[in-house]
Amino acid sequence: MKDILYAPWRDEYITSKVEGCVFCHASTNDTKDDELHVLYRDEHCFLVMNKYPYTPGHFMIIPHKHTDSLEDLDPKVWLHMSSLAQKGVKLLKDGFNAQGVNIGMNLGSAGGAGIAEHIHMHLVPRWNRDTNFITSIADTRVYSTDFEKIFKKIKSLIPKYI
């Protein structure tokens, strides 16, 4: 018999789906940045906190253009995403005290993308010994701090680093 792990905070995710692409929804609703946890936006991209992060501070860089194809993305936008990634790593290391950062893109559902229809780049802050037995044996993550507190902290760092 399997143990049951209750996660009532995910109820909002299950019951409040947006029509169409969730990233396009965030891209086009700039008056709801705090509600949607958008950290930053410019003409090419926006940064948004991952609603179900691997570690505290995990955010994504997302182009406004809806595409599932990195190879079809305007090179200017790709270079801009890369520049934002460099600045984001500096923010996470210097401003958020991360000891390392994982950067990644899962392209297509076969490549592991949870939202395959709109490309996005993950920046995941890491600390020595930030995994434990529950992740290894129970396929469960423990998020040790308040999501809203982390969102406000990282958003406050944006003017200095981005």
- CATH number for 104: 3.30.428.10
How many structural domains comprise the chain? 1
Look up tokens 């019951």; give the residue. Answer: 15
Name every residue whose Cβ is closer than 8 Å to that of residue 27 and which is 6 or more positions away in sequence: 41, 46, 62, 64
- Please report how the helices 75-90 and 147-161 are oriented relative to each other, as an axis angle in degrees rounded to 10: 110
CB 98 within 8 Å of CB 92: yes
1 lies in a domain?
A: no
Taking CA atoms, 160 is separated from 7, 82, 143, 157, in Å, by: 35, 18, 26, 6
87 lies in a domain?
A: yes
Q: Just list the catalytic residues.
A: 120
Structural domain span for residue 129: 8-161
3 lies in a domain?
A: no
108 lies in a domain?
A: yes
Global pTM value: 0.85
pLDDT digits (tens, 9 = 90+) for 101-110: 999 999 999 9
CB 107 within 8 Å of CB 119: yes
Whole-number percent of the chain with pLDDT over 90:
73
98 lies in a domain?
A: yes
The mean pLDDT value for 55-71 works out to 97
94 lies in a domain?
A: yes
pLDDT band at 145 (very low <50, low <70, confident <90, very high): confident
